[in-house]
Structure 1
Amino acid sequence: MDWTLEVVVVPVTDLDRAKAFYVDQCGFRAEIDAPFFEDVGRFVQLTPPGSRCSVVLESGMPESPGQPRMAPGSMRGLQLCVTDIEAARAELTGRGVDVTPVMHVSASGWAEGRGEAGWNCFLFFQDPDGNGWTIQEAPAPLTER
């Protein structure tokens, strides 16, 4: 049996503002925008280009049994991978996203510029609520080389 990660819940304060950010500025595809029940909340599911894993923007969704609701802006460590970090940065900055310069992990911590290893190139940004995203340059899969 396969266990696949298909959806990550991202807590936000304003669904319309968050949807606009992810769709218009980050280029995510809007998959679903529908009410849960009549006049009770909305379900907004967005997917990054080329990904099978989507994000669901959460605001006012009923609390899951045994799982307290996350505060808007509390997500950290959300990570997207691309094969061209400079092109990803240019696209995001061109769409108005405040993205860090390309950075890498060095012996003394984070440093600006590309790292020597193929996996050691990163960008960072936050959504309007402060949920933190990382973009990492990852080599193309062997089947694509």
Structure 2
Amino acid sequence: MTVAVNPAKVRSTDMKFELAVIPVSDVAHAKEFYANLGWRFDAEFTNGSDFHIIQFTPPGSGASVIFGKNVTPAKPGSAQGLYLIVSDIEAARKELLARGVKVSEVFHGGDNVHTGTDEPYLFGSVRVTGPDPQRRTYHSFASFSDPDGNGWVLQEVTNRLPGRVEGDTTFASVSDLAATLRRAAAAHGEHEKLTGEHDVNWPDWYAEYIVNEQAGKPLPK
């Protein structure tokens, strides 16, 4: 008798996404652009005039980007829909603007709304100016491009979908943890309004909120 195995319940070997290759035409210009974003400069390797590679890592990211000469046969500017996840879309946009980067207005996807321009980043929806009216997680965006036209998308994520995060609760950066604590503080304030009393066990409440938010589980009330 053959027993079917549910692959979703079988622990496979870890495969951690590490690098994305972006095609550029001018390596020096691209290096200047990505350094100006405030990204960490990791490494640079060259082999005479035949090979040149540079690696940068966005703040708080576990994955990096590489570009250079003879790194990829892809056409410069052909990389599109490269997502950067942020906890505060408006703050992230303001930081990029302060660095001189041309960033779109914050936008969200609207259903059955015709703006005259399809937005490929929104999976069939159309772009509507402004953040998501309900400020739902995954629903607010902004976009920018590098000098070659490779397209980057900022996406605001404040609460992960169930199953997206496994294992221990982790944070990619100090600012990511701080933003989570601010959300927990605001939610806890509403909790105390409902109960009408000061919660002396607030550390336990915060802990449950933070762990559940990252795991995509129901948040405490």
Question: Structure 1-normalised TM-score?
Answer: 0.88
Unaligned runs of 5+ in 2: 1-12, 114-125, 170-179, 181-209, 211-221
Unaligned runs of 5+ in 1: 64-68
Letter in 2 for 1:106: G
Alignment partners' CA distance in 2, 1:14 and 1:20: 10
Task: Report the secondary structure of 1:72's partner residue.
Answer: coil
Report how far residue 140 of structure 1 moved: 5.4
Partner of 2:40: 29
Alignment partners' CA distance in 2, 1:33 and 1:58: 9
Letter in 2 for 1:95: R
Alignment partners' CA distance in 2, 1:21 and 1:123: 18
1:124 aligns with 2:174: no
Letter in 2 for 1:121: S
1:50 aligns with 2:60: yes
1:111 aligns with 2:104: no
Query: Residue by residue, what CA displacement relative to the aligned partner does 1:2-53 show, whole Å, maximum 9, x if unpaired?
Result: 11110000000111100110111x1111100121x24422110100001110
RMSD: 1.6
Alignment partners' CA distance in 2, 1:140 and 1:104: 17
Alignment partners' CA distance in 2, 1:73 and 1:59: 14
Among candidates 8, 11, 17, match of residue 23 of structure 2: 11
Verify the 8 A CA contact 1:83 1:140 in the aligned structure 2: no
Report how far residue 58 of structure 1 moved: 3.1
Q: 1:140 to 1:23 in 2, by over 3 A?
A: farther
Normalized per residue, which structure has more strand?
1
Normalized per residue, which structure has more helix?
2
Query: Residue by residue, what CA displacement relative to the aligned partner does 1:83-137 show, whole Å, maximum 9, x if unpaired?
Result: 0111100000000110001100011221011112222110000000000010100
Among candidates 92, 97, 115, match of residue 96 of structure 2: 92
Partner of 1:66: none
Alignment partners' CA distance in 2, 1:12 and 1:70: 9
Alignment partners' CA distance in 2, 1:49 and 1:122: 18
Verify the 8 A CA contact 2:143 2:154 in the aligned structure 1: yes
Letter in 1 for 2:56: L
Task: Report the secondary structure of 1:50's partner residue.
Answer: coil
Alignment partners' CA distance in 1, 2:147 and 2:45: 22
Task: Report the secondary structure of 2:28's partner residue.
Answer: helix
The structure number with the bigger radius of gyration is 2
Alignment partners' CA distance in 1, 2:94 and 2:68: 29
